[in-house]
Structure 1
Amino acid sequence: MESQHLRPGHLTAHQTAYVLGIGLDAVRQLVRRGQLQRSGGSPRQPWYAAADVYALASKRAAAKAA
């Protein structure tokens, strides 16, 4: 179930996983490693800043291309 009160400029965990091309467990691992930070929501339905997610996606794409 997606959060119905998502703030503009934020993505749900499912949306974040989709943008990064990974699963939800991998999103949790990124948070644990400090590569991505929650910016709201609840522990069960976290939000992530869209700018952070897209920056991480670009960084990961650049690393793959190198």
Structure 2
Amino acid sequence: MEYLALPPGLVTTTTAALACGVQPATIRDWVRRGLLARVGGTPKRPIYRLRDVLAARDAPKPSSVSQRAQNPA
């Protein structure tokens, strides 16, 4: 079940993924990696600030395994 209405500037995982052109699993991965923080909702239905989602989309990300090993999160 999705939320019926959210305040302006807040989005669900699904809406965040649509805004960034990625899968919802990618949004959850950004949260796990500390690139994006939840601002409300429930554990199963988190809510994010749209500006934070767009910032996470634009944040530099490691492109190879060796970079991940050098820069642990």
Aligned match of 1:30: 30
Structure 1 residue runs without a partner (length 5+): none
Matched residue pairs, number? Answer: 61
Please report how far the alpha carbon of residue 7 of structure 1 lies from its aligned counterpart in structure 2 after TM superposition.
Answer: 2.7
Structure 2 residue runs without a partner (length 5+): 62-73
- Report the TM-score when normalising by structure 2: 0.69
- Report the TM-score when normalising by structure 1: 0.75
Which structure features the higher share of strand residues?
1
Which structure features the higher share of helix residues?
1
- Ranked by relative contact order (alpha carbons within 8 Å, sequence separation 6 or more), the top structure is 1
Aligned match of 2:70: none
Structure 1 residue runs of 4+, over 3 Å off?
none
Task: Flag the structure with larger Rg.
Answer: 2
RMSD: 1.9
Q: Percent identity?
A: 38
Please report how far the alpha carbon of residue 27 of structure 1 lies from its aligned counterpart in structure 2 after TM superposition.
Answer: 1.1
**AA at the equivalent of 1:16:** A
Aligned match of 1:53: 53
Aligned match of 2:71: none
**AA at the equivalent of 2:23:** G
